Amino acid sequence: MALLTRNHASISADEFFEMVNSPEYAHQHVELVAGEIVPMPTTNPEHSLIVGNIFALLWWFVRQHKLGRVHVGDAGVVLERHEQGRDTIRGIDIVFISYVKAPTLPQSSFLEVAPDLAIEIMSPSNTVGDTNLKINQLLRAGCPQVWIVHPDLRRVDVHSMDGMRVYREGDTLSGGDILPGFELAVSDIFPK
């Protein structure tokens, strides 16, 4: 995880927004992790296909039942704010935020409310350490459930404050209390 911060001073979420909208960062995909700018790799075709498969089914269900909004494409979510400016803004592949949490579309540059559901698709460039950090940051911020999709293993790890459960092909993911009635067969996530 290479850092792009120009000096050792921590960067706040507001400073980060200004920086990423400058010409210097125009063609870079980055996150802010504990006040440090971290590059994010571009995705591969399998990754984008899996994002699309999950998004399509989730979006359709959420829209039909008027439950909230589904954001896709590494939506920037503010997960930590600190007085010292060591803020964290992570890009999340797919995010569901209920109308209960956010009745209107946020007008700020980033989502300032913890998602009800965060979904990350693992890429070869993801490290276990950074993925675990992101899971913990999401849970601490108030996200009740985080799905980590493993294309190479064809499985989904569902994380909550109660622990982790593994779902494999042949299993069905459930929206539970977050998305009552929503079900997604693990086999429908991965390319055939």
Are the CB atoms for 179 and 96 separated by under 8 Å? yes
State the 10-residue block means of pLDDT for the chain, 192 residues long.
50 66 64 65 77 95 96 79 73 92 77 91 87 93 96 96 96 95 96 82
Domains and CATH numbers, the chain: 41-188 (3.90.1570.10)
For the record, the structure tokens of 192 come out as 């055939």
Please state, in angstroms and rounded to a whole number, the distance separating the CA atoms of residues 43 and 1.
Answer: 16
Q: Kindly provide the b/e burial profile for residues 91-130, where b requires at least 16 CB atoms within 10 angstroms of the residue's own CB.
A: bbbbbbbbeeebeeeeeebbbebbbbbbbbbbbeebeeee
Residue 185 is inside which H or E element, if any?
Answer: strand 183-185
Tell me the pTM.
0.80
Are the CB atoms for 68 and 102 separated by under 8 Å? yes
How would you classify residue 181: left for phi > 0, otherwise alpha for psi between -120 and 50, otherwise beta?
Answer: left
pLDDT value at residue 2: 42
pLDDT value at residue 59: 96
Please state, in angstroms and rounded to a whole number, the distance separating the CA atoms of residues 147 and 118.
Answer: 6
pLDDT value at residue 175: 93
Strands 155-160 and 163-168: antiparallel
CA angle 66, 122, 97 (to 5 degrees): 20
